[in-house]
Amino acid sequence: MQHTNIFESYHIGEGTFDEMYQGKDVRTAYQGIFNFLKSNSPEDLTMKEELSKRLFMSQGITFTVYSSGEGIEKIFPFDIIPRIITADEWDFVERGIRQRLKALNLFLKDIYSHQFILKDGIVPTDIIYSCPHFIREMHGLKVPHDIYVHISGIDIIRGGDGTFYVLEDNLRTPSGVSYMIENREITKRIFPDVLRRNSVRSVTQYPTLLHKNLKSLSPRQVANPTVVLLTPGMFNSAYFEHTTLARLMGIELVEGRDLVVENHKVFMKTTYGLQQVDVIYRRVDDDFLDPLVFNKESVLGVAGIMSAYRKGNVAIVNAVGNGVADDKAIYTFVPDMIKYYLNEEPILSNVPTYHCADPEQLEHVFANISSMVIKKTNGSGGYDMLMGNSATEKEIEDYKKAVIKEPRQFIAQPIISLSTTPCYINGKLTPRRVDLRPFALFGPEGIEIVPGGLTRVALKEGSMVVNSSQGGGSKDTWVLA
Amino acid sequence: MLSRVADSLFWMARYMERSDGILRMLKVNYNSSQDNLSDFSWQPVLKVFTYLDGPAIIELDNESSEVLRYMILDKENDNSVQNIVIHARENARSVQDNVTIEVWQCLNDFYHLIRDERHINSLAEGDAISVIDLMVKQCLVYYGTVDITMSRGSGYCFMSLGKFLERALQSIDILDVKLGSMSAEDTQAYDTLYWKYLLMSVSGYKLYLKNYQSGFEARNVVHQIVLNTHFPRSVIYSLDHLHRNFEQLSAYLDKASFDELNFEIGKLRSKVRYSTLNDIEAMGLHTYLADIKKDLSDISSKLNQYCFAYS
């Protein structure tokens, strides 16, 4: 039986690249899922959608929202239709990310030691020293294997003609990888046999690769170094991810209060007494890591941990101070870094970016504000930004005032019309905008990128903001062999 | 094992044991409340398992379905089954890397079940027993899941400590509140149904019929609940298992702490094992039970101090 009605209302926006359709034709990569969807009635698909929700709930893939003293479990919205990336596209993206990551890691090493890139005038000195994430305590601190960015999530988008752009680099504590793994598990349940028939590459090796890398960073030469995952605790919205990763790697999930520093060594408090910790995969931000060095009020971190780090008695993943390399103002210089450190042309392009601190560029931004998005350089989560095409006049005026007050804090980019993929919403397939966050692991043996990633999708009609805090959801991401 | 993790596992197991105990006890008492027994009262149950004061207890006494609501679902009642399950789940959640995924999902399912509006409504308006049965079943799934999926390491031992400590305390409480303050003449006055429901509320009725063929006598009931090594809810059975599981921990604790606690637990176990019904009667049941309870609470605070101290 053929059911075609779910495709009826699929209209691709003008000047938008659609991942599934090329004009009236379905792209080859999507043919398999297209046929599968056609053979299912809308009722079947709705049941699959409900099953996916139930599975997330029952497996506790949730975050807790606390209101009036009571916790309510929420699921991160999941759209059942996968987002598909062809082998060629993936090859390109993967090469681009490797190159970019190599340069960014060299940049961090340079910026916290000799600062050649500043002396050679490639990156302006003031942009570094005015960055709140530039951590002076990191200067001259030797990190194992010179690796700073062990885990990164570089956000990729596609413009109107299908070109890949890097939207931003996440080099601190990027989250979402558990959804890459769990979304795939859900797909296995709701679309039996479909993955195999489409030769989708597996993502399950991620925890094993990460664990191997973490172990290899141990400062002590012991057979089984103690590796822990440091979480801010269960009130953190990514707590599910922390528990999942700890479980999949078989490492201890610790909180700040489980650790103590003695004689510049980090120990965890066990029933047997103190046990030395060698590697800490921390999901606590720099600011909260060590109340003796950073935020004095922090109870999430461990007093003295920076001194142990400085002495080389413990490895911290990711390195402290990475924020200086993924700041939105530094972003503009990444193509120059690639040329400077690697003597290569950048494979992945940046989105054109204007610095509001530069009066000429600011003038240009204000003149074209209706086609611009203005962001805070250290903002995240899709907050505090202005979408010039949809903001009211008052919002624009207020935002302009804020920009004029502290221009260093802002950058602007022309609004890129993100590519769309089909989503199953209210019984119909409807195009929604997506981005892609592949997760790259940088270990002593090189960079490995698991074929897949987190596809975030703006579930609100017409919205360009994919952040989960702003009505975004996610999709399973298929990379074809 | 991290001290915080050991602590959470211990309490997760305690809370689950408690919710199982309360649910079974409620089911039987609810049943008996429907039997029009002249001497049935919710008061003993409310006294042991809630923090309500005298007047509040008297007010609730004749309202069976309100008692069930309060003891199972009330958010303000710290010891309501719902709150206990929330605590068990929160403990499990923070140690997910130390329990199997099956155990975690089982507690997570229980949590969603007990917050489901449909069950909440049918507890009040539909068949209360079916709802309680559904929850008891969830406890059984938990026990089975723990049994067949958890590795027998230190985590399992800490869970067992929590489970058997809680079980011993529950049996003591139930026995004490129903019998502890009675004189021998008093106990004669009760009819068969009273004993039947008391035994059923600790799931021991069948065993009693088989073992003690002389009919219902307070002495025999005391024997079964305190001294019968074959009765899985007896005090001695719980203490035997508490001790056995603690001995498994010798490799995971420092020697001084282990030795001290092992001594305390072993001493209590022997104290109960080598008491006779005559000893208990001479001492008075209530005094005897209170003494065991005190020892258990000392053991619990020593565990806290030696194994779980992390802040």
The H or E element containing residue A64 is: strand A63-67
What are the chain B neighbours of A239 within 8 Å (beta carbons)?
Answer: 93
The pLDDT assigned to B169 comes to: 95
Q: What is the mean pLDDT of residues B283-296?
A: 94
What are the chain B neighbours of A58 within 8 Å (beta carbons)?
Answer: 105, 108-109, 112
Q: Measured between CB atoms, which of A60, A233, A269 is closest to B3?
A: A269
> Could you tell me if B35 lies within 8 Å of chain A, comparing CB atoms?
no
Shortest Cα distance, chain B CAs vs residue A148, angstroms: 27
> Could you tell me if B57 lies within 8 Å of chain A, comparing CB atoms?
no
> Could you tell me if A243 lies within 8 Å of chain B, comparing CB atoms?
yes
> Could you tell me if B109 lies within 8 Å of chain A, comparing CB atoms?
yes
The pLDDT assigned to A169 comes to: 94
Asked if B97 lies within 8 A of A251 by C-beta distance, the reply is: yes
Asked if A253 lies within 8 A of B104 by C-beta distance, the reply is: no
> Could you tell me if B69 lies within 8 Å of chain A, comparing CB atoms?
no
Tokens found for residue A69 = 């003293």
> Could you tell me if B130 lies within 8 Å of chain A, comparing CB atoms?
no
pLDDT band at A2 (very low <50, low <70, confident <90, very high): low
- Top residue of A236, A251, A271 to mutate, by most chain B CBs within 10 Å, is A271
- Top residue of B2, B149, B154 to mutate, by most chain A CBs within 10 Å, is B2
The whole-angstrom separation of Cα A186 and Cα A362 is 46
> Could you tell me if B2 lies within 8 Å of chain A, comparing CB atoms?
yes
What are the chain B neighbours of A273 within 8 Å (beta carbons)?
Answer: 254
Asked if B3 lies within 8 A of A271 by C-beta distance, the reply is: yes
Asked if residue A20 has pLDDT above 90, the reply is yes
State the DSSP string of A107-169: HHHHHTTT-HHHHTTSS-HHHHHT-TT--GGGTTPPPGGG---SEEEEEEEE-TTS-EEEEEE
Asked if B4 lies within 8 A of A258 by C-beta distance, the reply is: yes
State the DSSP string of B212-225: -TT---HHHHHIII
E strands in A322-369: 349-350, 354-355
Q: Which range scores top for mean pLDDT: A284-298, B5-19, B26-40, B52-66? A: B5-19
Q: What is the mean pLDDT of residues A260-269?
A: 96
Tokens found for residue B309 = 């101290």
Residue-wise over A447-466: b if at least 16 C-beta within 10 A, else e? bbbbbbbbbbbbbeeebbbb
> Could you tell me if B116 lies within 8 Å of chain A, comparing CB atoms?
no
pLDDT band at A474 (very low <50, low <70, confident <90, very high): very high
Shortest Cα distance, chain B CAs vs residue A118, angstroms: 45
The pLDDT assigned to A112 comes to: 97
Q: Measured between CB atoms, which of A58, A233, A239 is closest to B109?
A: A58
pTM metric for this prediction: 0.89
What is the tens place of the pLDDT at every residue in A211-254?
Answer: 999 999 999 999 899 999 999 998 888 899 999 999 999 999 99
> Could you tell me if B95 lies within 8 Å of chain A, comparing CB atoms?
yes
Asked if residue B219 has pLDDT above 60, the reply is yes
C-alpha dist (Å) from residue B136 to A140, A164, B139, B141, B142? 61, 55, 5, 9, 10
The whole-angstrom separation of Cα A100 and Cα B261 is 58
Asked if A268 lies within 8 A of B1 by C-beta distance, the reply is: no
Residue matched to tokens 């260093």? A408
Rg of chain B taking only CA atoms, in angstroms? 20
**How high does pLDDT run on average in chain A?**
91
Strand A273-276: give its sheet, edge to edge. A259-262, A265-270, A273-276
The helix/strand/coil state of A195 is helix
Cα angle A202, A204, A206 (rounded to 5 degrees) comes to 115
| Percentage of chain B lying above the pLDDT 70 cut | 94
State the DSSP string of A65-108: EEETTEEEEE---EEEEEEEE-HHHHHHHHHHHHHHHHHHHHHH
What is the tens place of the pLDDT at every residue in A443-470?
Answer: 999 999 999 999 999 998 888 888 877 7
What are the chain A neighbours of B94 within 8 Å (beta carbons)?
Answer: 233-234, 253
What is the tens place of the pLDDT at every residue in A349-399?
Answer: 999 999 888 889 999 999 998 889 898 887 666 667 888 888 888 888 888
Q: Measured between CB atoms, which of A58, A71, A253 is closest to B97?
A: A253
pLDDT band at B209 (very low <50, low <70, confident <90, very high): confident
Asked if B105 lies within 8 A of A59 by C-beta distance, the reply is: yes
Asked if residue A52 has pLDDT above 70, the reply is yes
Asked if A273 lies within 8 A of B95 by C-beta distance, the reply is: no
What is the tens place of the pLDDT at every residue in A118-131?
Answer: 999 999 998 899 88
SS3 content of chain A, % helix, strand, coil (to 5): 35, 25, 40
CA nearest to A240 within chain B: B93
Cα angle A470, A149, A259 (rounded to 5 degrees) comes to 85
